Chain A
Amino acid sequence: GAGVSQTPSNKVTEKGKYVELRCDPISGHTALYWYRQSLGQGPEFLIYFQGTGAADDSGLPNDRFFAVRPEGSVSTLKIQRTERGDSAVYLCASSLPTGATGELFFGEGSRLTVL
C-alpha cells in the first residue's frame, strides 16, 4: 500500500530480550518519527530523522533505545534488555520534507508486550 508500514504488528517478548521494530515510510517522505503510546496516553515523541541522520533523539528514554535509518528510507527501532515498562504501541510516522505542516502520517503501530 501507499501508507506507512510497520512490522511486526504484535511482538511478545520476555524481560531482558532484544527487540527490533521496523518502519517503512511513505515514498518521498524524508522526515521519519518514532513515537510510543501507552494505554490511556497520547503518543510520546522518541526520535526524529531528517534523511539518514537523527535530527532529534531527545525523547529516547535511556541508552537501551536506539534507532537507525541507514539509507534514508526504512528505519529500525532497537530496544535492548527489554523491561516490562517498555510495553506499549510503538508508532512510526513520516511527513513531507517541506515546512512544519503538522501532518504526520502514522503507521498502525507495533504493539510490544514484555512479559
Chain B
Amino acid sequence: RKEVEQDPGPFNVPEGATVAFNCTYSNSASQSFFWYRQDCRKEPKLLMSVYSSGNEDGRFTAQLNRASQYISLLIRDSKLSDSATYLCVVNKGGGNKLTFGTGTQLKVEL
C-alpha cells in the first residue's frame, strides 16, 4: 500500500464548477500535511498547508481528518488557470522530508 493515496483523475470540469480532491495517508504518526500544485512539465510548488481546523485561501479550502487519516482540497469557482496536477503531501517529521502522492490531474474547460 502506498503511503499517500490519491485518485489520479483526470477530473474534467467546466469553468466555474466546484471540485473536490481527496487523499488518504497510511502513517498515523504523520505530523504535517500539504497540497502542492504541479503544472505540466514544471516543478511542484506549495499551494497550501492543511490543518485539522480547516483553512481557506481564496477559492481553495483544505481540510484534515486525523482520525480517518484523510485530507481534502476544495476548489470553488474553477478557473482555466487551475488546470494542473494537485499533489497531496505528508511530512512524517525530521525536517522537510516530504512524501508525495501520485497527484490528481484537474482539467478546467470552457
* A contact set with B: CB distance below 8 Å: 31, 33, 35, 40-45, 48, 50, 55-56, 91, 95, 100-104, 106-109
Contacts and interface: CB of A to CB of B under 8 A. Distances in A.
B102 A40 contact: yes
Contact of B96 (A41, A104, A109): A104
A108 B43 CA distance: 5
Contacts of B4: 42
Contact of A100 (B8, B31, B44, B87): B31
A41 B102 contact: yes
Interface string B22-37: 0000000001111000
A104 B102 contact: no
Nearest to A38: B102
Given A40-B102, A42-B87, A42-B101, A48 B95 contact: yes
B98 A45 contact: yes
B95 A45 contact: no
A56 B31 CA distance: 18
A100 B32 contact: yes
B100 A43 contact: yes
Contacts of A106: 43-45
Contacts of B43: 91, 106-109
Contacts of B95: 31, 48, 50, 55-56, 95, 100
B97 A108 contact: no
A17 B100 CA distance: 29
B75 interface: no
Contact of A42 (B32, B45, B49, B103): B103
B55 interface: no
Q: Which interface residue of B4, B89, B100 has the most chain A CB atoms within 10 A?
A: B100
Nearest to A44: B100
Nearest to A96: B96
Contacts of B101: 42
Q: Which interface residue of A43, A55, A56, A91 has the most chain B CB atoms within 10 A?
A: A43
B102 A102 contact: no
A92 to B, nearest CB: 9
